[in-house]
Amino acid sequence: MEQAGSLSARGSTGSAAPDIRTASVRVPAQARAADVERERGVASDESRSVSGARGEHTHSEPPIPHPRVESARSVETARPVETARPVVQRASVRGQILDALRTALVAGELAPGQVYSAPVLGERFGVSATPVREAMQQLALEGAVEVVPNRGFRVVRRGTRELAELAEIRALLEVPVVLRLARTVPAARWAELRPLAEAAARAASAGCRATYAECDRAFHHAMLALAGNDQLVQIADDLHRRAQWPLVGGPVPRGRADLMADAAEHLALLDALTAQDLPAVQSLVREHFADN
């Protein structure tokens, strides 16, 4: 995948952009009438399949060309060679763009208050504006951006009060659940979460905020999943993601030392949970949310 440049107010991004390429089109040799009729039927089926998988494009923008199997010819053997190319589904493209935009938000590359255009971002990602617009609309539903008619999407300005409110809600949801799990989950299950905590520690040591944010969410997601309540996990994950967005006029973004301290709390919490040390679990989990 190619790396894009850092985002400006016009909409460029520093996150890893999906490398979406299409196959070149070659003119096939002339076929007999029967072959032509058969190929027409196949082409019609392909057209219906692509339309169903990709969905409708809006705003008169050209659709993303659908990768296909290209018929090439070997120079040495002069025999046809079939080169298989991966089929990129529309939902996959939108998902890749959404992940890249979320990473850019956490990294601070999408600046609060700035307006970003879907066509400009689409050029950076190498796709049409449609999947970028769809990804931005999802971010609008999550509260990360707001729609600016005829211009694009503005990154929402957030303050320290909102961050404190999110931390309070997360604590109200997660602390009781973790304390209940501490009494019922066996040590072997907690040991399964240690690789996630160690991955977060490595990301923190590297000082990469975007990677650490992903590892942090993965650890909390896995821990809450032990409760068996899918709705709880979904709500907590959404709150956690929103708490990671950058602030306007707030404190300096968390540096390497802060990330390492946060990651160390994950490991200490796992140790206490494994030992079923309930007082230590209660102290650590409350301190963890107070720090966030």
132-157 pLDDT tens trace: 999 999 999 988 999 999 899 999 98
Residue type, 279: P
Nearest to 18 by CA among 91, 100, 137: 100
- Position with higher pLDDT, 57 vs 165: 165
Is-contact 239 224, C-beta < 8 A? no
**If you search the block for the tokens 């990360």, which residue do you land on?**
144
Pick from 2-11, 88-97, 211-220: least confident: 2-11
H helices present in the chain, as ranges: 33-54, 90-107, 118-125, 129-142, 160-184, 187-191, 194-206, 209-225, 230-243, 256-274, 278-291
| Cα 242 from Cα 217, distance rounded (Å) | 11
Average pLDDT of the chain is 75
What pLDDT, on a 0 to 100 scale, did the predictor assign at position 292?
Answer: 63
| Cα 86 from Cα 179, distance rounded (Å) | 46
The secondary structure of residue 5, as a DSSP letter, is P
| Cα 178 from Cα 225, distance rounded (Å) | 10
What pLDDT, on a 0 to 100 scale, did the predictor assign at position 248?
Answer: 64
Pick from 34-38, 181-185, 275-279, 283-287: least confident: 34-38
What average pLDDT does the segment 15-24 reach? 40
Report yes or no on whether pTM surpasses 0.85: no
| Cα 21 from Cα 42, distance rounded (Å) | 23
pLDDT above 70: percentage of residues in the chain: 65
Please count the CA atoms within 13 angstroms of the CA of 55 that sit on its side-chain side: 11
| Cα 155 from Cα 248, distance rounded (Å) | 11
62-110 pLDDT tens trace: 333 333 333 333 333 444 434 343 333 455 888 999 999 988 888 888 8
Kindly state the helix (H) or strand (E) to which residue 255 belongs, with its residue range: none
- Position with higher pLDDT, 112 vs 51: 112
- Position with higher pLDDT, 53 vs 92: 92
- pLDDT higher than threshold 90 for residue 41: no
Nearest to 9 by CA among 217, 153, 142, 212: 153
Is-contact 203 259, C-beta < 8 A? yes
Q: Per-residue confidence at 246, pLDDT binned at 50, 70, 90? A: confident
Q: Output Rg (C-alpha) for the chain, integer angstroms.
A: 24
